[in-house]
């Protein structure tokens, strides 16, 4: 028991108490950090109806999202939504909705986030396989507007080097002063649901619990003092427990309860400018998870995120400083 307590204390000290190397990292967490970003996302799902042997290659309507972030001390909040002026080709691809909320907690080498994603509105990218004489760019796609996806979950990341400022990349509450990379470990866990309320084209009701373990390397290259270029590659393995309701080959409804292994890969690339007050940048994140799931679905769930951000830091209000000191943050 004493040995377990000792190991726990050593782990707690290394995760939460170790300070960053000031020769490599400049800390701005004591300032209020406000950031706005324009984001584009595409989600891909492949569905095969065994009754008709038709394949539906589904894509989320590429709706532009406007996200607002606020960071101070160890906390960060992000809210994303889709304003009307960013809606894309609704006449051809159908309506789409998007909601995104995220809470982040930052420690010297540990990053914790909780998130909520909800999307609605998909179209059939391979519409030409289902409609004769269909012309791309002129005729509307087949639309699955009642297909909803929901994901609620979290991520816990650990960065091994105290000379690497991960917050300089992900929250911009730090600035990397010298080029540095680090190994990282990541645990992702979530609840997800894919729900299609009608039976036209195909029936799909998918509810799952997922856990994935990732490990990889990230490097931040600094040049001209304020400019940076970073890259990350993170393979993953995981398990998914799923309850799925779908069409079967006899024309009826079938229920599956399965435990499915999966493998995946996450890659990220970005560049930008980061000064003591003002910063901006662009980044691209690609995630792909592959698993053979059900008798009627061989699924590769891929997502592409592209972002352009602009932010500013300013001195915190005295009342906010006192509040965080009072609650011990």
CA dist 295 and 297 (Å) reads 6
State yes or no: pLDDT of 315 exceeds 60. Answer: yes
Sign of the CA dihedral 88, 89, 91, 95?
negative
Is residue 4 a part of any domain in this protein? no
- Can you give the pLDDT at residue 8? 41
Sequence-ordered strand ranges (E) for 161-252: 174-176, 180-196, 204-223, 227-247
Is residue 16 a part of any domain in this protein? no
Other beta carbons within 10 Å of 227: 14
CA dist 100 and 113 (Å) reads 13
Spatial CA neighbour of 122 closest among 58, 49, 175: 58
Q: What is the pTM of this model?
A: 0.77
Is residue 296 a part of any domain in this protein? yes
Is residue 45 a part of any domain in this protein? yes
Is residue 208 a part of any domain in this protein? yes
- Can you give the pLDDT at residue 88? 62
Is residue 6 a part of any domain in this protein? no
Per the CB < 8 A criterion, the answer to whether 191 and 208 are in contact is yes
CA dist 293 and 300 (Å) reads 9
| CATH number of the domain that residue 252 is part of | 2.40.160
Is residue 11 a part of any domain in this protein? no
The mean pLDDT value of the chain amounts to: 80
Other beta carbons within 10 Å of 88: 13
The tally of domains found in the chain comes to 1
Spatial CA neighbour of 176 closest among 235, 251, 226, 240: 226
Q: Domain limits at 194?
A: 22-326
Per the CB < 8 A criterion, the answer to whether 38 and 65 are in contact is yes
Is residue 10 a part of any domain in this protein? no
153-164 per-position pLDDT tens digit: 999 999 999 899
256-274 per-position pLDDT tens digit: 778 888 888 899 999 999 9
- Can you give the pLDDT at residue 317? 77
- Six-digit token string for 129: 């396989």
- Can you give the pLDDT at residue 213? 94
State yes or no: pLDDT of 320 exceeds 80. Answer: no
Write the burial class of residue 52 (CB in 10 Å: 0-12 exposed, 13-18 middle, 19+ buried). exposed
| Helix and strand counts by DSSP (H, E) for the chain | 4, 15
81-103 per-position pLDDT tens digit: 776 666 666 778 877 777 788 88
Tokens 């592209």 found at: 306
């Amino acid at each position: 028991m004493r040995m377990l307590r000792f190991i726990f204390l050593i782990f707690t000290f290394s995760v939460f108490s170790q300070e960053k190397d000031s020769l490599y990292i400049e800390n701005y967490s004591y300032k209020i950090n406000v950031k706005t970003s324009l984001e584009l996302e595409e989600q891909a799902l492949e569905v095969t109806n065994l009754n008709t042997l038709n394949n539906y290659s589904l894509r989320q309507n590429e709706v532009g999202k406007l996200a607002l972030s606020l960071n101070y001390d160890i906390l960060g909040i992000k809210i994303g939504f889709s304003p009307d002026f960013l809606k894309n080709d609704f006449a051809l691809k159908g309506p789409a909705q998007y909601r995104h909320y995220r809470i982040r907690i930052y420690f010297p080498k540990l990053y914790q986030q909780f998130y909520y994603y909800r999307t609605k509105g998909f179209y059939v990218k391979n519409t030409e396989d289902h409609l004769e004489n269909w012309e791309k760019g002129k005729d509307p796609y087949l639309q699955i507007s009642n297909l909803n996806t929901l994901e609620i979950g979290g991520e816990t990341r650990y960065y091994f080097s105290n000379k690497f400022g991960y917050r300089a990349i992900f929250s911009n509450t730090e600035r990397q002063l010298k080029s540095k990379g680090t190994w990282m470990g990541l645990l992702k866990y979530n609840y997800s649901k894919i729900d299609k309320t009608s039976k036209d084209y195909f029936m799909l009701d998918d509810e799952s619990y997922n856990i994935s373990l990732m490990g990889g390397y990230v490097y931040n290259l600094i040049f001209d003092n304020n400019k940076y270029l970073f890259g990350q590659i993170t393979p993953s393995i995981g398990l998914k427990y799923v309850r799925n309701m779908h069409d079967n080959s006899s024309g009826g409804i079938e229920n599956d309860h399965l435990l499915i292994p999966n493998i995946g890969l996450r890659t990220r690339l970005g560049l930008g400018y980061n000064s003591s007050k003002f910063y901006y940048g662009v980044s691209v994140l690609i995630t792909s998870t592959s698993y053979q799931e059900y008798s009627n679905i061989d699924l590769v769930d891929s997502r592409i995120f592209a972002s352009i951000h602009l932010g500013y830091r300013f001195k915190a209000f005295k009342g906010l400083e006192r509040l965080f000191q009072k609650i011990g943050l």
